[in-house]
């Protein structure tokens, strides 16, 4: 299976003022990402509020993004998160994803009744993957949200040779030892997509070639420059660019976490509305102060812009 290289944005799901999904924004959103050199989209994930949507809404969002892919002569890759606590719902979403033409799906660890060992986690993943045997399947490793923190090298050992369509892992964790072991496993056969924007440089040193991140939505030029500096051996410059990424990401914590990402999108010209509860949406007064803080970063040229 072809590995994905470059930046994969994790798009926000646009919402109206009353909290309904706003599919009308997705065509311009897709073109916005394409203009900024993004290689793919990881939809319905943490950033996309997939777990806060109904089954029907997730299908509608998937169809809207897939429709843009179908109309594009040189489309981005499209990965859809189908996981979940119910393997039956995951299978339904996986089959739907296949029917509308996504490139791959991703599966999340069950986060309420958690698997007691990596063997049960592997069985859960295989059960879903077997329902769509021709569709590449990624595992989405984000223990800070799922509470499931098994070493991914152990999961790979369980799936290797048992699940032909297992493609790799979206790795959103700071265990560099485990990540490097996964990169080397089976002669580097699997795609290891890095998932922590704030320490991408460290992952590049280990050998990461593809990354999935929310800040790629609005700051893709920053990360393109970071990767280019690293590839040219300009390590000091790469470090400075990573620090700018960190300074930008600190604003998410200052203004309430993941929901701040939609404020960044508003800042660069893509209106995505607010987040659903329990994530707190940013008030207008706070947004005005946020804009001043963004300008104070003095990195305007590193934010994504539309044509």
Report the Cα–Cα distance between both ends of the chain, in Å, rounded. Answer: 34
Phi, psi torsion values for 105, nearest 5 degrees = -120, 165
Residue 88 neighbours by CB distance under 10 Å: 11
Q: Which of 296, 300, 299, 305 is nearest to 242 (CA)?
A: 299
Phi, psi torsion values for 170, nearest 5 degrees = -90, 110
- The answer to whether the CB of 193 falls within 8 A of the CB of 170 is yes
- Cα distance between residue 183 and residue 209, in whole Å: 10
Residue 170 falls in the annotated catalytic set:
yes
Catalytic one among 138, 170, 190, 230? 170
- The answer to whether the CB of 32 falls within 8 A of the CB of 25 is no
Q: Which residue has the tokens 């033409």?
A: 101
Could you tell me the two tokens for 193? 């997509």
Please state, in angstroms and as integers, the Cα–Cα distance from residue 225 to each residue in 218, 249, 269, following that order: 14, 17, 22
- CA Rg value for the chain: 18
**Strand bridging mode 40-43 / 104-108:** unpaired
Q: Which contiguous run of DSSP H or E holds residue 141? A: strand 137-141
Residue 72 neighbours by CB distance under 10 Å: 12
Catalytic one among 140, 190, 230, 255? 140
Angle subtended by helix axes 284-296 and 260-267, to nearest 10: 70
- Cα distance between residue 88 and residue 245, in whole Å: 39
Q: Which residue has the tokens 């002669």?
A: 187
Residues designated catalytic: 140, 170
């Amino acid at each position: 299976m072809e590995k994905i290289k470059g930046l994969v944005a994790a798009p926000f799901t646009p919402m109206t003022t009353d909290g309904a999904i706003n599919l009308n924004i997705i065509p311009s959103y897709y073109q916005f990402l394409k203009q900024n050199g993004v290689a793919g989209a990881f939809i319905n994930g943490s950033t996309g509020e997939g777990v806060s949507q109904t089954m029907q809404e997730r299908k509608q969002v998937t169809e809207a993004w897939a429709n843009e892919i179908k109309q594009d002569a040189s489309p981005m890759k499209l990965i859809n998160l189908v996981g979940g606590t119910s393997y039956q719902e995951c299978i339904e979403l996986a089959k739907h994803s296949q029917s509308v033409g996504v490139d791959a799906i991703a599966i999340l660890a069950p986060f309420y009744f958690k698997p007691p060992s990596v063997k049960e986690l592997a069985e859960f993943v295989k059960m879903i993957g077997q329902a769509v045997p021709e569709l590449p399947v990624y595992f989405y490793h984000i223990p800070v949200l799922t509470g499931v923190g098994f070493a991914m090298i152990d999961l790979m050992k369980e799936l290797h040779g048992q699940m032909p369509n297992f493609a790799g892992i979206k790795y959103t964790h700071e265990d560099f030892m485990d990540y490097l072991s996964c990169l080397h496993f089976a002669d580097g056969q699997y795609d290891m997509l890095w998932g922590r924007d704030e320490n991408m440089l460290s992952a590049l040193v280990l050998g990461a070639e593809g990354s999935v991140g929310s800040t790629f939505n609005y700051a893709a030029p920053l990360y393109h420059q970071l990767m280019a500096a690293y590839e040219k051996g300009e390590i000091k410059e790469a470090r400075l660019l990573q620090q700018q990424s960190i300074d930008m990401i600190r604003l998410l914590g200052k203004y309430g976490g993941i929901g701040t990402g939609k404020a960044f999108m508003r800042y660069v010209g893509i209106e995505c509305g607010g987040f659903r509860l329990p994530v707190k949406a940013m008030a207008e007064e706070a947004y005005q102060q946020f804009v001043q803080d963004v300008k104070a970063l003095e990195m305007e040229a590193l934010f994504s812009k539309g044509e």
